[in-house]
A and B are shown apart, each in its own frame.
Chain A
Amino acid sequence: MFSIDWSIIQQSLPLLGQGALVTLKITVTAIALGMVIGTLLAVARVSVYAPMRWLSASYVNCFRSIPLVMVLLWFYLIVPHFLSSFFNLSPQTDVRLVSAIVAFTAFEAAYYAEIIRAGMRSVSSGQYSAALALGMTKSQTLTYVILPQAFRVMTPLLLTQGMILFQDTALVYIIGLADFFRTASNIGKTTGNEIDMVLFAGAGYFVVCFCVSVTVTMVKKRLKL
Chain B
Amino acid sequence: MINPTDEAMIIMENVSKWYGDFNVLSHCSTRIHKGEVVVVCGPSGSGKSTLIKTVNGLEPVQDGKIIVNGTEVTSKKTNLARLRSHVGMVFQHFELFPHLSIIHNLVLAQEKVLKRNREEAMEKGLMLLKRVGLEPQTDKYPSQLSGGQQQRVAIARALCMDPVAMLFDEPTSALDPEMINEVLDVMVELAYEGMTMMVVTHEMGFARKVANRVLFMETGVILEDSPKDKFFDNPATQRAKDFLANIIPH
Contacts and interface: CB of A to CB of B under 8 A. Distances in A.
Interface of A: 124, 126-127, 129-137, 140, 144-145, 148-149, 152
Interface of A is mostly: helix
B97 A145 contact: yes
Contacts of B82: 135
Contact of B84 (A126, A132, A148, A149): A132
A144 B96 CA distance: 13
Contacts of A127: 95, 97
B58 interface: yes
Contacts, number: 65
Given A134-B113, A135-B109, A149-B98, A129 B58 contact: yes
Interface of B: 53, 56, 58, 80-89, 91, 93, 95-99, 108-109, 112-114, 157-158, 161
B21 to A, nearest CB: 23
Nearest to A134: B109
Given A133-B56, A134-B161, A135-B81, A144 B95 contact: no
Nearest to A149: B99
6 nearest CB pairs, A to B: A135-B85, A130-B95, A134-B109, A133-B89, A135-B113, A135-B84
Contacts of B114: 135
A140 B113 contact: yes
A19 to B, nearest CB: 40
17 contacts: A126-B93, A129-B53, A129-B89, A130-B91, A133-B84, A133-B87, A133-B89, A134-B85, A134-B109, A134-B161, A135-B81, A135-B82, A136-B81, A137-B81, A140-B112, A144-B108, A152-B99
The CB with the most chain B CB atoms within 10 A, among A131, A134, A144, A148, is that of A134
A133 B81 CA distance: 8
A26 B37 CA distance: 62
Contact of B95 (A129, A135, A140): A129
A139 to B, nearest CB: 10
Contacts of A136: 81, 109, 112-113
Given A132-B84, A135-B81, A136-B81, A144 B112 contact: yes
A55 B99 CA distance: 31
Contacts of A145: 97, 108
Contacts of A152: 99
